[in-house]
Structure 1
Amino acid sequence: MELLPQRLSPLVVLLLATPLFVGAPSLADDATSSLHPVVLVPGNTCAQLDARLTDEYEPPTPGCGMPKQGRGWFRLWDNFTALQEDPALLPCHADQLRLVYDPVAGDYRNMPGVKTRVVSFGSTRSFRFDDPARKNVCMEGLVDALEGVGYREGANLFGAPYDFRHAPAAPGMASKVFSDFSSSFKLLVERASERSGNKPVILVTHSMGGLFTMVFLDRTHLAWRRRFVKHLVMLCLGAGGSPLNMWPLAFNAASPPSSLPGTVLTYGNRSFASMFSLLPSPKVYGDAPLVITGAKNYSASNMAEYLAAVGLSEEQVALYRTRALPVTLDIRAPLVPMTSINGVGVPTIDKLVFWDGNFSAKPQLVNGDGDGQINLQTVLALESLIRAHPDQGYFKSILIPNTTHKGMISDEFALKRVVSEILEQIKPPHDTGTLIN
């Protein structure tokens, strides 16, 4: 169905059609010879990190440091198999993943004596896991789907994993890890283009990878974007964060969860620079109550009060105000052709209720619409933001019913829709609109 011109289209256009790609393999066959290179940028926690311990490291217990100090690199994250074999390693890995803020350097760094590196930057290999339970968590399903239509690792398919503990900082503030990622990402895009006959690149992001990419694009020269970026396909991200991300910060640090993923997303998350990156934006949520207690309500507008109430230090609250919030408030249209694809129709947290003010207890949840993590409200805010920019050009928003945040990169129908949009970019641009499939 042809999209309506933007000036005539309603907010939502209902598209009644059979699933794409069903009975139509010729689309992939025709596209293979003219594929544009694709660089995938995964979501939060979807990088693998190696670590190396030096003599400077002071472990929380002797068993955490002595076996590995001075013995080279080991897998710090995703080392689920090792943790299953020896649960006693949980506090060790949690400690070694923590970040500290260096006020002299004005930046975050690892714990003293812990060196880290991202595994397999430039490749999609780090999106794959030996554990079958992890197969659909990151972008492995999307890699398989792209390879099914002619993409090949290292030839025209690449990956840009990043250290998810760090995040972009406000302009003028130090963020060495994000700056290093941006430099490597820029070079990767240029080399991907060169390997594909100088074709511009299609960037495909999921979740927090979209935030990293939006900030990266905003901080590159427009001429570079127009030369090297053919299209941005952003999955599962709006423009205003999510109340869901207020929940992990409420956990009592004295009682961390009993698994490494739980620890990273709760107790460990308090030390990460990225812990503030997807908190609700005052521009989107305003004064609407997001956390409700018997004594006081907290909104995006008084987020600093909430962070103090759940036990974050004055320094951490100040870092939210000065480093993260300005980035949240300054998300801009990428000024490259863009398609935003999000799931809807899934209960998604809108409000957290702690009646007795005990933030360590499990809250009552008030749900709205979204993909289970990203609220529809923030998706619509992204649409408004991008459509309002006079220089944005092509933009399309697609809403896929009953599709979860993880399902966008694992469910068969959603994957077909995403791959179809990627292949669509070999054709001339057309009118914009908003679709529900």
Structure 2
Amino acid sequence: MDTYVDCWDDLAKLKYDKQTRTTRNLPGVQTRVPGFGNTTTLEYLTPDRCQYSSYMSTMIETVFLPLGYKRGVDLRGAPYDFRKAPNEMQQYFENLREHIEEMYHETSQKVLMLSHSMGSNIAHYFLIHQTQEWKDRHIEALVSVSGAWGGAVKALQGFTTGYELEGDIFDRLKMREAEETFPSFAYMLPSSLLWGPEEAILQSGNSTFTAYTYKEFFEALNLEDGYNMYLDTRDLNQYDVAPGVFLYCITGNNVRTPEGFFFLENNFRTVLHTAMAMVTEPSTREASTYVCSGKVLRDRKFATRPTRTPSTSIS
């Protein structure tokens, strides 16, 4: 497993370009996102379909297939390079638009977009950059499952201890070497829309950081590129702009997730020494109320609810 992580770390790292304010692969590395147009790489995250890599397989097999959906016909996937933020995903958005139009023409039905976590932010960004005429013609609704509206505290791990995957089966400190180069982690940092100036999201010794002190946070980490990526992506989530389609938000309840990270020592680029404070994540709870309320939807008058089963695309 360590050999796998070392290889992944070397290949997944990105190089930040201060001139273009974008990232690129390291020399000799090419990236392909497999499975665009089908659900294969969304059901399991590894080719061997090991149980620990199961992602959307249970939902597809127990919800969509019993309803009569067929993989590759009216049930399709649109995976993307999770390392990137929307400002570097233009080709993906072009492919997504073409794919939605293809589904619409092949099934003669509007497409229901289903998104999860950061995928909800990506879907919202995509929709607000389409014309209302196009959305009225092609999109039935957007269903957001645990959308990371407003960011997530766990994004801090990409720059500190390494992001904790399910089961924590990988060496997080090794994973961090790549993760701290991903714009997506900067894009998903907790937003000041939800976390106040006095609300600590990370404490280390005598240092306290909030959603208002990211400059100091990245200076403490000596990660200049990390701060630049934050500046590049912090305004991409335009929550005050209506998506222009039906928007349904599904969130969990009483799910214990981090509110902040707390370290006994000043060096917070090591594995956590103390227990994390655990609460219901405000990003999915309060921000869903913000996004699904009139704050976003008031500019759009909606017709009746869907009366037929639409085609579904998952991102």
CA distance in 1, matches of 2:39, 2:10: 28
Judged with a 3 Å threshold, the aligned counterparts in structure 2 of structure 1 residues 103 and 90 are, in CA distance, closer, same or farther, namely same
Judged with a 3 Å threshold, the aligned counterparts in structure 2 of structure 1 residues 317 and 233 are, in CA distance, closer, same or farther, namely same
The amino acid of 1:156's aligned partner reads D
Normalising by structure 2, we get a TM-score of 0.85
Partner-residue secondary structure (3-state), 2:30: strand
Partner-residue secondary structure (3-state), 1:190: helix
The Cα of 1:259 is off from its aligned counterpart by 6.0
The Cα of 1:335 is off from its aligned counterpart by 1.6
Judged with a 3 Å threshold, the aligned counterparts in structure 2 of structure 1 residues 225 and 261 are, in CA distance, closer, same or farther, namely farther
Judged with a 3 Å threshold, the aligned counterparts in structure 2 of structure 1 residues 89 and 206 are, in CA distance, closer, same or farther, namely closer
Describe how 1:18-29 pairs up with structure 2 within 5 A.
none
The Cα of 1:393 is off from its aligned counterpart by 4.2
Judged with a 3 Å threshold, the aligned counterparts in structure 2 of structure 1 residues 141 and 392 are, in CA distance, closer, same or farther, namely farther
Describe how 1:199-278 pairs up with structure 2 within 5 A.
199-251=109-161, 262=172, 266-278=176-188
Percent identity between matched residues is 24
Judged with a 3 Å threshold, the aligned counterparts in structure 2 of structure 1 residues 394 and 366 are, in CA distance, closer, same or farther, namely farther
Partner-residue secondary structure (3-state), 1:282: coil
1:140 is matched with: 57
Q: Paired residue for 2:262, among 349, 353, 357? A: 353
Q: Do the aligned residues in 2 keep the contact of 1:127 with 1:139 (CA within 8 Å)?
A: yes
The Cα of 1:181 is off from its aligned counterpart by 0.5
The amino acid of 2:121's aligned partner reads L
Judged with a 3 Å threshold, the aligned counterparts in structure 2 of structure 1 residues 291 and 239 are, in CA distance, closer, same or farther, namely same
Partner-residue secondary structure (3-state), 2:32: strand
CA distance in 1, matches of 2:69, 2:15: 40
1:298 is matched with: 209
CA distance in 2, matches of 1:122, 1:326: 29
2:47 is the counterpart of 1:165: no
Structure 2 stretches lacking a partner, 5+ long:
163-167, 310-315
Judged with a 3 Å threshold, the aligned counterparts in structure 2 of structure 1 residues 331 and 259 are, in CA distance, closer, same or farther, namely farther
The Cα of 1:166 is off from its aligned counterpart by 0.8
Q: Do the aligned residues in 2 keep the contact of 1:344 with 1:376 (CA within 8 Å)?
A: no
Runs of 4+ in structure 1 displaced over 4 angstroms? 258-261
Please report the RMSD computed on the Cα atoms of aligned residues, expressed in angstroms: 2.6
The amino acid of 2:263's aligned partner reads F
Q: Do the aligned residues in 1 keep the contact of 2:39 with 2:71 (CA within 8 Å)?
A: yes
CA distance in 2, matches of 1:293, 1:139: 36
Normalising by structure 1, we get a TM-score of 0.62
Structure 1 stretches lacking a partner, 5+ long:
1-83, 170-174, 253-257, 370-374, 396-423, 429-437
Judged with a 3 Å threshold, the aligned counterparts in structure 2 of structure 1 residues 89 and 338 are, in CA distance, closer, same or farther, namely closer
Q: Paired residue for 1:285, among 182, 195, 201? A: 195
Judged with a 3 Å threshold, the aligned counterparts in structure 2 of structure 1 residues 358 and 264 are, in CA distance, closer, same or farther, namely closer
Judged with a 3 Å threshold, the aligned counterparts in structure 2 of structure 1 residues 273 and 384 are, in CA distance, closer, same or farther, namely closer
Describe how 1:51-200 pairs up with structure 2 within 5 A.
84=1, 87-129=2-44, 130-134=48-52, 136=54, 138-144=55-61, 145-169=63-87, 175=88, 178-197=89-108, 199-200=109-110
Q: How many residues align?
A: 295
The Cα of 1:158 is off from its aligned counterpart by 0.8
Q: Do the aligned residues in 2 keep the contact of 1:239 with 1:331 (CA within 8 Å)?
A: no
State which structure, 1 or 2, has the greater radius of gyration over its C-alpha atoms.
Answer: 1
Judged with a 3 Å threshold, the aligned counterparts in structure 2 of structure 1 residues 265 and 225 are, in CA distance, closer, same or farther, namely farther
1:333 is matched with: 242
